[in-house]
């Protein structure tokens, strides 16, 4: 995304083969498991991993 503001996440779905994230503007983005595993040590995923246990309890 080239916008400077952060889009608001409406909800996300944990799927058997990845995660689908739905944004307020109607955009949905799918992240396959392979992508998530490859980027699990990046700053953005560490922030969520440190704050929220998965699966959420």
Give the residue from 20, 31, 27 showing the smallest Cα distance to 3: 27
Would you give per-residue pLDDT tens digits along the chain (57 residues)?
455 577 888 999 999 999 999 999 999 999 999 988 887 777 665 555 555 555 544
Q: How far is CA 2 from CA 5, 33, 38, 40, 47, in A?
A: 9, 24, 23, 23, 21
Please report where in the chains the tokens 């990046």 appear, as a residue: 42
Q: Is the pTM value of this prediction over 0.85?
A: no
pLDDT at 39: 79
pLDDT at 45: 56
């Amino acid at each position: 995304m080239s916008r400077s503001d952060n889009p608001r996440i409406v909800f996300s779905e944990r799927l058997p083969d990845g995660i689908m994230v739905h944004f307020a503007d109607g955009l949905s983005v799918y992240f396959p498991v392979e992508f998530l595993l490859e980027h699990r040590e990046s700053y953005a995923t560490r922030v969520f991993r440190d704050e929220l246990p998965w699966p959420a309890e």
